A = this chain, B = another copy of it.
Amino acid sequence: MRPIPLTRYLATRSRLVDRALDRFLPRATAKPSTVHKAMRYSLFAGGKRMRPVLTLAAAEACGGKIERALPAASAVECIHTYSLIHDDLPCMDDDDLRRGRPTNHKVFGEGIAVLAGDALLTIAFEILAQAAPTPRYSIAAQIRELADAAGSRWLIGGQIADLEGEGRKLTGAELRYIHRCKTAALLTSSLRLGAMSANATPAQLKAITAFGQNLGLAFQVIDDILDVTQTTEKLGKTAGKDIAATKATFPAIYGLEKSRAEARKLTAAAHTALKPLREKATRLREIADYLLAREY
């Protein structure tokens, strides 16, 4: 049997994630409807579902079933979406546009946007608590994994460092720290939770982790490059915004060519990390190549 092409694979998986999220979230009409409408507005805004698709692919790469990984996949997408809503707030990055649509607070107002983000963060743990424990990974261990990645040391810590770095020149090390916290940590955790749902061996979990750390940084370097080289229309968010706000980016510190080389190097390291998983990790390899092959 010929495997289906990656683009169809990605489309199928992201539809699976959409359906799971729709099932896990309260209806838009559930009382009080404003917060549920606001949660769904950002959650179903045409996101790429990159993190949850990685969760499902990691589960398969470790010999597991994707159905068992759906709660974790849905939970990481809720965390990702909440972080975007809060990052876009006027008191943070002050963005009006996200995925080609007005940001949450532009539509619902700041108060509701804060609360919709809070609610998505909260429901992420409620959803993950509905996952099945595996012999090696209790639900408690899975909750701790997600809370750590989303917490003050990683996801939130990165946004703090980002806020504090605004308006001054960052070093390469500082920029890497921010990207590791803001992007690589949750992406790695998305993969690890998929592996955990498959009861991964310690060696499998280690391989998945190294893959995620390199892929996550690669992804962010590419995002930085795209912000410089692409138009607002294509990007679905305000292009050149990072530079306009004198935010540090890889191209701003290293220039475009060196940044591109860095992205290629990180992707190669991601591939190397997957070797122990052999042919089971084919989809993860394809996804890594696909993310790197975005025009940058």
Q: Tell me the nearest residue of chain B to A149, going by C-beta.
A: B122
A121 to B36, CA, bound (A): 19
Please indicate the chain B residues that have their CB under 8 angstroms from the CB of A130 in the complex.
140, 144
The answer to whether B147 touches A115 (Cβ under 8 A) is: no
The SS class assigned to the A binding surface is: helix
Residue A238 lies at the interface, judged by CB distance under 8 Å to chain B: no
CB distance from A153 to the nearest CB of B (A): 7
State whether A152 touches B26 (Cβ < 8 A).
Answer: yes
Determine whether A126 belongs to the interface, using a CB cutoff of 8 Å to chain B. Answer: yes
Q: Can you list, as one digit per residue, whether each of A16-27 has a CB less than 8 Å from chain B (1) or not (0)?
A: 000000000010
Q: Which residue of chain B lies nearest to A159 when distances are taken between CB atoms in the complex? A: B115
Does B164 contact A34, Cβ atoms closer than 8 Å? yes
Chain B residues contacting A117 (CB-CB under 8 Å) are 118
Q: A122-B147, A125-B147, A144-B130 are in contact. Are A112 and B160 (CB under 8 A)?
A: yes
Contact with B along A249-262 (1 / 0, CB 8 A): 00000000000000
User: Which of B109, B119, B157 lies in contact with A151, CB distance below 8 A?
Assistant: B119
Contact with B along A142-167 (1 / 0, CB 8 A): 01100110111100110111011000
The reply to whether the CB of A129 lies closer than 8 angstroms to some CB of chain B is yes
User: What copy number does this chain have within its complex?
Assistant: 2
Residues from chain B with Cβ under 8 Å of A82 in the complex: 118
Q: Say whether B160 contacts A122, CB under 8 Å.
A: no
- At the interface, yes or no: A123 with Cβ under 8 Å from chain B? yes
The stretch of A3-11, A48-56, A86-94, A198-206 in contact with B is A86-94
> Would you call A135 an interface residue if the criterion is a C-beta within 8 Å of the partner chain's C-beta atoms?
no
CA distance A152 to B116 in the complex (A): 8
Determine whether the beta carbon of B121 is less than 8 Å from that of A164. Answer: no
Q: Which residues of B contact A156 (CB under 8 A)?
A: 35, 115, 118-119, 122
Instruction: Return 15 A-B CB contacts under 8 Å, by A number.
Output: A32-B161, A35-B156, A35-B160, A36-B152, A86-B118, A89-B114, A91-B110, A119-B152, A122-B147, A122-B151, A122-B156, A123-B151, A126-B151, A130-B144, A131-B140
Besides A36-B152, A111-B163, A118-B156, 6 new A-B residue pairs in contact (Cβ under 8 A), listed by A number: A32-B160, A35-B156, A119-B152, A122-B151, A123-B147, A126-B144
- Which A residues form the contact surface with B (CB < 8 A)? 26, 30-32, 34-36, 39, 82, 86, 89, 91-92, 109-112, 114-115, 117-119, 121-123, 125-126, 128-131, 133, 138-141, 143-144, 147-148, 150-153, 156-157, 159-161, 163-164
